[in-house]
Amino acid sequence: MKKVALVALGGVAGFALALGLLPQAQGAQDTGPYRQLDLFSDAFERVRANYVRPVQDTELVNAAIQGMVSNLDPHSSYMDAKSYNDMQITTKGQFGGVGIEVTQEDGLIKVISPIDGTPAAKAGIKSGDRIAGIDGQSIAGQPLNEAIDKMRGPEGSKVTLTILREGEKKPFDVTLQRAVVQVDADTWRKEGDIGYIRLPGFNEQTASGLEKAVRDLKKQIGPGIKGYVIDLRNNPGGLLDQAIQVSDDLLTGGEVVSTRGRHPEDTQRYDAKGGDITDGKPIVVLINAGTASASEIVSGALQDHKRATIVGMTSFGKGSVQTIIPLGEGGGALRLTTARYYTPSGHSIQAQGIIPDIAVSQGDETNIPKIARPSEADLPGHLVGEPAAKKINAPVVQPAPGKKYDDFQLSYALDLLHGKMTVAAAGKSAKAD
């Protein structure tokens, strides 16, 4: 045992030297990064030798890296080779699963939003739901990637999720049949003389989907088209380059977004090249508490350039940039938070979100307890946002009592583009809901 431990320590020392953490001349009595790696090596060997069952070295190392990275913030994580491959498949547009965007909170999996048209959405899974178990097994404390892997599987197979929901006294089970999830597929339709475009996320096809939607709607509606509603509600984000391209498609120029990292030289600015594909027609963008990350970049850019009217409720507030860093041949990758997003006016999205120009409730958000509304600011370990300018609390527009709408926020947007006043009532003031 002693000999094995010494060999392992020698390897850790060599690792530290290779990383430039330890000068060649330092002695064993020194503290700092080498001492911490020494501590890790000691723990590694003790677990390896004494745990109740044999464990593979890769299992211990993967768990150690995951623990190190996931402790930094809610969006940093380690992906083993399989998870990394799954992530690459997802960004290309499809995978087998139930269709929910999730994060981890208090040891459970929290639903950011279900993906349109998927088994989860059809079964009524909601933003803010917490998943406590999968197939009858508790997932408390389980790494996020492992829980996601359990929810994915072959098309047609079944999985049972145990759901905790605000307002429900007891957990309940929902059994879903997995399907091939078409991730973030744009959809569109005409609403009279207005084009409605739904962007549920940002993958490699999102910008081209938007461009096709605008072309088709121009043909369907003709020259009398009044404008467009772009629906970013419950859009959890995705690829930065697609958010930039979507913004570029709707702007004639100017900054789209900037990212600022740890060092001044890490700052990057992304500009629109010009060429508004809608020919300057009015645009209303719909957002809510499930609007996050890339969708907040688009909302913020269009709002700051006064290119669109933002309608809905304050967005999620995920204003951090995750960089995917591969870790060598077959070694998986790090998803590491490396910067923050800023809108063209210099507004930090992080833990603040995009505040709509007109706060419009779907009808029940203002009555839901705060804990049930997903928000970056509520996630344990989130990056603290920068101080925001003082906000003026405006009334939240709500459906008039007794009047029924299939989608009040959309009805309000359509009326706004037609220059009409929606039948509505003013409710509570609009805060970061």
d(CA 244, CA 221): 27
Cβ burial of 174 (10 Å; 0-12, 13-18, 19+) is middle
- The number of beta carbons lying within 10 Å of the beta carbon of residue 341 is 23
The model's pLDDT over 245-282, given as tens digits with 9 standing for 90+, comes to 999 999 999 999 999 999 989 899 999 997 899 999 99
Question: Greater confidence, 195 or 369?
Answer: 195
Q: By three-state DSSP, how is residue 16 classified? A: helix
Catalogue the long-range contacts made by 62-65 (C-beta closer than 8 Å, 24 or more residues apart): 62/332, 63/143, 64/40, 65/334
Enter the tokens of residue 258: 């900037």
* Secondary structure percentages of the chain, helix, strand, coil, to 5: 30, 25, 45
- Confirm if 115 and 183 have CB atoms less than 8 A apart: yes
Known catalytic residue at 86: no
Residues pairing with 312 in the sheet: 287, 359
Residue 293 catalytic? Answer: yes
- Other CB atoms within 10 Å distance of the CB of residue 36: 13
Q: Which of 93-107, 255-269, 359-373 has the lowest mean pLDDT?
A: 359-373
Structure tokens that stand for 268 in this block: 């990057």
The answer to whether 264 and 207 are in contact (CB under 8 A) is no
The one catalytic residue among 70, 318, 348, 375:
318
What is the per-residue pLDDT across 378-416, written as a single tens digit (0 to 9) for each? 887 888 877 665 555 678 999 988 888 889 999 999 999
Task: Give the model confidence (pLDDT) of 9-32 as tens digits.
Answer: 333 333 333 333 444 444 445 567
Kindly report the backbone phi and psi dihedral angles of residue 286, in degrees, each rounded to the nearest multiple of 5, phi listed first. -95, 130
Strand partners, 174: 161
* pLDDT of 96 over the 60 cut: yes
Q: Is the alpha carbon torsion for 87, 89, 92, 96 positive or negative? A: negative
Strand-pairing partners, residue 269, are 258
Among 293, 295, 320, 375, the active-site one is 293
For the question of residue 370 being annotated catalytic, the response is no
Given 184, 248, 304, 433, the catalytic residue? 304
